[in-house]
Amino acid sequence: MPKTNKLSKDVIAKMKQSYLEGASINKVARKFNVARSTVQRHLSDIRRPYEPRNAFELIPNDMTEEIAECAGIIAGDGTIWKEKNRGLRIRIRGNPKDEQEYYNNWVKPLFERTFNIKVLSKHFSGGSYGIEINSSKIARFFSEVFELPIGKKATTIKFPKCLLEARKEVKLAFLRGLIDTDGYIYFNTMPAKSWGGTRFKTLYVGLGLSSEAIIGQIKEILTEYSFKVSKITVSKGSPWTNNPEFNLRVCGIKSFYRYLSEIKSNNPRFKQKIDIITEVMRNG
């Protein structure tokens, strides 16, 4: 079929959408059966976000909290893998019982508005739920700039070097994404006999990972910012792997207040516990 250079507004709009979703100019040309020069002419006013020729052009001073949180989410629940004949892909998934709302209402919109792309949310085999990003350039961006491993990452992942000199809010945004996906909140209470109310016997935000390196780096960062943190402890970890789990906790009421105000959480599964804790704090 001969290629055509006369395109309707509807076709041009679809071409632009395909390009914004990660398709290359050559792929768009083949899909719509037009010349490459025609595609370039119609896309001349579009620049896909965060698509430098060299990914390292995005230096830490230009880093945003949104990008850092996306990286933390991938570091926690995500996987970057190479799909045969299709390039790199990102898949992020969690438990549909208590995280589907988080993925639908926060993670999916966060990636879509940050990178101006369309993100697919779905149930995966094995019973998990999450999102899939079919853009090799975005996957390569996170792999190159944030050094997030391609393939298995559990024991090798580290705190990204590009964030070590970033401002505090950006570092904590990465931690927010990581804790929201791989962390937890634990507390129990006991009667306060002296005034008849309730006080906390135990209260902490916990994080357990199979990478000793990143847990050690996180401990250093939180200590630098004067959070009260525990010693790193080691447990058996998941029964499905032979990897030990390295555990760190942000402990105490003062540090929990700071967690709420400085690190924060966007995961609804934490909300019920946070509401109970703040109510005890208010009335205890």
Nearest to 18 by CA among 4, 9, 7, 29: 29
- What's the rounded Cα separation, in Å, for the pair 146 and 130? 21
HSE-CB at 104 with a 13 A cutoff on CA atoms is: 11
Distances (CA, A) of 109 to 89, 129, 164: 18, 15, 27
User: Does 63 share its domain with 33?
Assistant: no
Task: Spell out where the chain has E strands.
Answer: 78-83, 87-94, 120-123, 129-133, 183-192, 197-209, 233-235, 245-251
Q: Which two tokens stand for residue 93?
A: 């998934």
Residue at 160 is within a domain: no
Residue at 277 is within a domain: yes
Q: Are 80 and 137 in contact (CB under 8 A)?
A: no
pLDDT tens across the length of the chain (284 residues): 455 557 888 888 888 888 776 677 888 888 888 888 888 888 776 655 444 444 444 444 568 899 999 999 999 999 999 887 778 999 999 999 999 999 999 999 999 988 888 898 999 988 999 999 988 889 989 998 899 999 989 899 999 998 998 899 999 999 999 999 999 999 877 665 655 567 777 889 999 999 999 999 999 999 999 999 999 999 987 777 788 999 999 998 899 999 999 999 999 999 888 988 888 777 65
User: Does 38 share its domain with 100?
Assistant: no
CATH number at residue 143: 3.10.28.10
User: Does 14 share its domain with 67?
Assistant: no
pTM of the model: 0.77
DSSP structural state of residue 55: G
Calculate the CA 31 to chain-centre distance. 32
User: Does 29 share its domain with 69?
Assistant: no
Query: 29 is in which domain, residue-wise?
Result: 9-42
Residue at 106 is within a domain: yes
Residue at 143 is within a domain: yes
Q: Are 207 and 247 in contact (CB under 8 A)?
A: yes
Q: Are 134 and 89 in contact (CB under 8 A)?
A: yes
Q: In total, how many domains does the chain have?
A: 3
- Return the SS3 of 251: strand
Residue at 161 is within a domain: no
- What's the rounded Cα separation, in Å, for the pair 115 and 49? 6
Calculate the CA 86 to chain-centre distance. 23
Residue at 50 is within a domain: no
Residue type, 74: I
DSSP structural state of residue 162: G
Residue at 159 is within a domain: no
User: Does 138 share its domain with 210?
Assistant: no
User: Does 66 share its domain with 34?
Assistant: no
Residue at 165 is within a domain: no
User: Does 186 share its domain with 278?
Assistant: yes
